[in-house]
Structure formats: structure tokens, C-alpha cells
Amino acid sequence: MADAAGILIVGDVIDGQLGSTSKELLAAGRQIANNLNESVSIALLGSSTETAGTQAIESGADIVYLVNNPALESYHIDFHLAALKSLVDEISPRIILMGRTAEGRELAPRLAFRLGVGLAQDCLEVSIDTSNQTLLANRPVYGGSAVAVVSCEQTPQIAAIRPKAYEPLETDSNRSGETVSFPVELDTSIAKTKVTNVVKEESEGVKLEDARIVIAGGRGLGGPEPFSDLQNLADILGAGVGASRAAVDSGWVPYSYQVGLTGKTITPEIYITVAISGASQHMAGCSGSKVIVAINKDSEANIFKDAKYGVVGDWETILPAFTETVRELTQD
């Protein structure tokens, strides 16, 4: 793609609204585009995407491509990959930014393979070397214990960015942009898989990724029952409840609770950990927390290296007292 130019965001639409990850990607793309003096476009695949398109322009997009086909109504890797490849071939972007979401983890490497280029995966930050217009990406290595800077030298340059790595831009209803309809022809016979049933997990309380306060438990809790104690505190604080991988692997709580390198990335204002040792893989998912509070009986636990406030002691003694104090302080 010798004439490649511009930044393309692969967006997501959730119940007709622009997904939060798309807004974060637009912030990253806007930053790069300003340095290159190029435009930011976003691809919205599916139907009923007009509202999301307006929100994308308000959040930093210059051009919105509404990629339409009935087969794109719900996510399907074969159809979405073919549609996205058609768009990329048509508009020749210099850089493609995708979210490392459940769909992005599958779609990004396949798109890169189809285009014959590399992929910077699980990026925490992206920037541009203006001297040669090369994309630079910071990504964790060695289980999150170090950060490597990698460069993308093939065009288009593709990066999959970890959710919550960027703060969305402030929306501006006065921004203007262009909306382009991009219908695609898809041969449904290309589908290698078939979705036979969709089961939505019902969740109660505050969504973990959006919570201002998160309380998480680890292996040191000893079983699933103590998570009800964490939930009691969370109910008082209006917080979300999370867990370490060890607690999830033990079957104490569902995978949707998991915080860490192979779980969810969170950026709460306060992150309270109970009986979590603080392995690098876990910290990779919560390092963006503004304040970390740790409760652990092991004074040498790694979690205390990252915690702003730490309490050394048995959680069975500390947590009930802490919960009761919070309840008293929050009562009218």
C-alpha cells in the first residue's frame, strides 16, 4: 500500500451505541493523526449503526464507514474478516487500531495475516516516529514484568490495544465529520463455523470494567464463601467484585471476575485487594488503578510494592472490621 494514509479504527457497536473501547481507540488514533496531520476514520460493521456513527464523530472520528450487510448483524469471524478486508483494500489506511477485546483477539491476527503484515498485540500505548512515519507500540513482555517497545514497519501497520489503556476524549457535539455507507457483498458459504445458540451471562451489580471502586479476592481467601463478604463491602461502596486467576481457576467465582493479563483490565479510582499476592500477571490488569489498597498476612507479598496503602494481617479479622467502619461512615 504505497499510497496508504490515515488511521482506521475498527469500532464496536453494543446495542446500537458506540462501545467504550471504540472511544478509547479514537483517543489513541486522534493523538497519532495530529502528529501525522492525517485523518481518523472508524469502521462500524453491522446494521443500525447510525447512532454509533454520530457518537464516533463526537468522540474524535473524521470519517465513519458504515459497513453494511445482513450477515454482519452479529459477530461472525469469517464475515467480519472478509468485510473488514474489503474496506481496508478500498481505503488503504496507513495504520489500523483495534481493541484487544474478545472479538479483537481473534480478528486482529487474522486480518494481519490476510494483509501479509505483522501485528503489535496487547499494546499499552502507541505513538508515531514522525521521522519515518513508523508506529511504535509499548507492550508487556515476560508476563507483564517488563515493557517492550516494538515498531511496525509494514503497511498497513496494525496494533491491538488493551482496553482501558486510554482515556476517551471529551465528547464534542459540535464536531463535524463525514459518514460513508460501505455496503459489502459477502458469500455466506465462506463460513467455517455456525452459531447455533447465544447465551448471555446475567450480571448483577456494577460492571467490573466500569467500576470506580473494585474489591478483589485471591487464593488466600481459602474458598468461595468469603466472596460473599467481599460482595457485602462492595454493596456498601457501590463497587465491583473481582478475583485473581488462582481464585477463578479454583472454581470459586466465574471467569468474568478475573483481573489480570489473561482476564480483565481495570482502571478504578480505588482497588482493594484481599489475600492477593500481587503476581506480575495480576498487576498487568490493574496497574492503571489510581490507588491500590492491599490486605495480606504476608508482609513480603509483591502486592505491597504497588499498593499505596497496605494492611498486614489476617483478612478474617481485618475485613469485617473494615466493612463495619465503612458502613458506619456511609450511613446518613
CATH number of residue 175's parent domain: 3.40.50.620
In a domain, 2, yes or no: no
| Residue count of the chain | 332
Instruction: Please report where in the chains the cell 456511609 appears, as a residue.
Output: 330
Helix (H) or strand (E) holding 121: strand 119-123
pTM of the complete model: 0.83
- For the record, the C-alpha cell of 191 comes out as 463460513
Task: Write down which residue in 160, 190, 220 finishes a domain.
Answer: 190
Residues 34 and 120 in one domain: yes
Q: Give the pLDDT of residue 204.
A: 67
CA-based torsion, 224, 226, 229, 234: positive or negative: negative
Domain of residue 227 covers: 208-330
Residues 18 and 140 in one domain: yes
8 A C-beta contact, residue 268 and residue 285: no
Q: Give the pLDDT of residue 307.
A: 94
Tell which residue, 74, 93, 95, 109, has the closest CA to residue 25. 95
Residues of the chain scoring pLDDT < 50:
none
Residues 24 and 165 in one domain: yes
The CA distance from 78 to 97, in Å, is 19
The β-bridge partners of 18 are 13
Provide the residue type at 50 as one letter: E
In a domain, 234, yes or no: yes
Residues 169 and 95 in one domain: yes
Residues 242 and 322 in one domain: yes
Residues 165 and 220 in one domain: no
Q: Give the pLDDT of residue 187.
A: 85
Helix (H, G, I), strand (E, B) or coil at 228: helix
Helix (H) or strand (E) holding 323: helix 315-330
Tell which residue, 268, 203, 201, 275, has the closest CA to residue 239. 268
The CA distance from 227 to 257, in Å, is 11
Task: Write down which residue in 190, 219, 239 finishes a domain.
Answer: 190
- For the record, the C-alpha cell of 174 comes out as 459540535
Q: Give the pLDDT of residue 102.
A: 85
Q: Give the pLDDT of residue 1.
A: 59
The CA distance from 257 to 112, in Å, is 30
- For the record, the C-alpha cell of 177 comes out as 465529520
The CA distance from 136 to 220, in Å, is 39
Residues 107 and 230 in one domain: no
How many structural domains is the chain composed of? 2
Residues 217 and 128 in one domain: no
